[in-house]
Amino acid sequence: MAGRERLPGTYLRRDEMYRLPGLVRYKPRAKYSFSAGIAQTRFLQGLREGKILGVRCPVCGRVYVPPRAYCEYCHVPTSEWVELPGTGTIHTAVISYIGTFRERREKPEIVGVIRLDAPGYKEDGYEFAGLFHRLCGVSEDDVKSGRAIGMRVRPRWRPPEERRGDINDIECFEPVEG
């Protein structure tokens, strides 16, 4: 504990702690129920249909993706639904060796933030409608060299019969030809 002050109390090793009288070891078998809410439900239904939907603020005109019930700038309800073309630009990209459940991947996955083509934002601003998702057709060298940043992409959709109404209905975002 060099350089750190030791707090008062009795410090126990793990094995000492588990030998304390009255200590109960219990692993709850909790079951959770999650409701996506009105805005997210419509967004997820859109994904099942092969559409990226957002909501527009009636005051400032920003289009939110993923949708929000209220504009975080104007503090008014958002109610106008807008279908986006799905195209966008890679804003950030990384090579990930860690999977969704924190498992180590043998083959890395390339993921990034996609700045979607949505109205209501400054072209060079740091605020935008976007999604964090897998990138396909983008090489590790594209990421390492920085060529991936600014690359135009579009969604690659799962076949309609495989869609479930979740973000994975978009397999990945792939480079737009030309």
Q: What is the pLDDT of residues 27-44, one digit of tens each?
A: 778 887 778 888 899 999
Amino acid at 73: Y
**pLDDT for 29:** 83
Neighbours of 145 (CB within 10 A): 10
Does residue 160 have a cis bond before it (omega within 30 degrees)?
no
Amino acid at 159: P
**pLDDT for 135:** 97
**pLDDT for 55:** 94
**pLDDT for 3:** 59
**pLDDT for 8:** 76
**pLDDT for 2:** 57
Helix (H) or strand (E) holding 144: helix 140-145
**pLDDT for 47:** 97
Strands of the sheet containing 130-134, edge to edge, are: 130-134, 104-116, 88-98, 152-157, 170-175
Is residue 161 a contact partner of residue 95, using CB atoms and an 8 Å limit? no
> CA separation (Å) from 65 to 17, 51, 112?
47, 12, 15
Phi, psi of 150 (to 5 degrees): 90, -5
d(CA 58, CA 128): 17
**pLDDT for 84:** 95
pTM assigned to the model = 0.77
The pLDDT tens digits along the chain (178 residues) read: 455 677 777 788 888 887 888 777 777 788 877 788 888 999 999 999 999 999 999 999 999 999 999 999 999 999 899 999 999 999 999 999 988 778 888 899 999 999 999 888 877 777 888 999 999 999 999 999 999 999 999 999 999 999 999 999 999 999 998 6
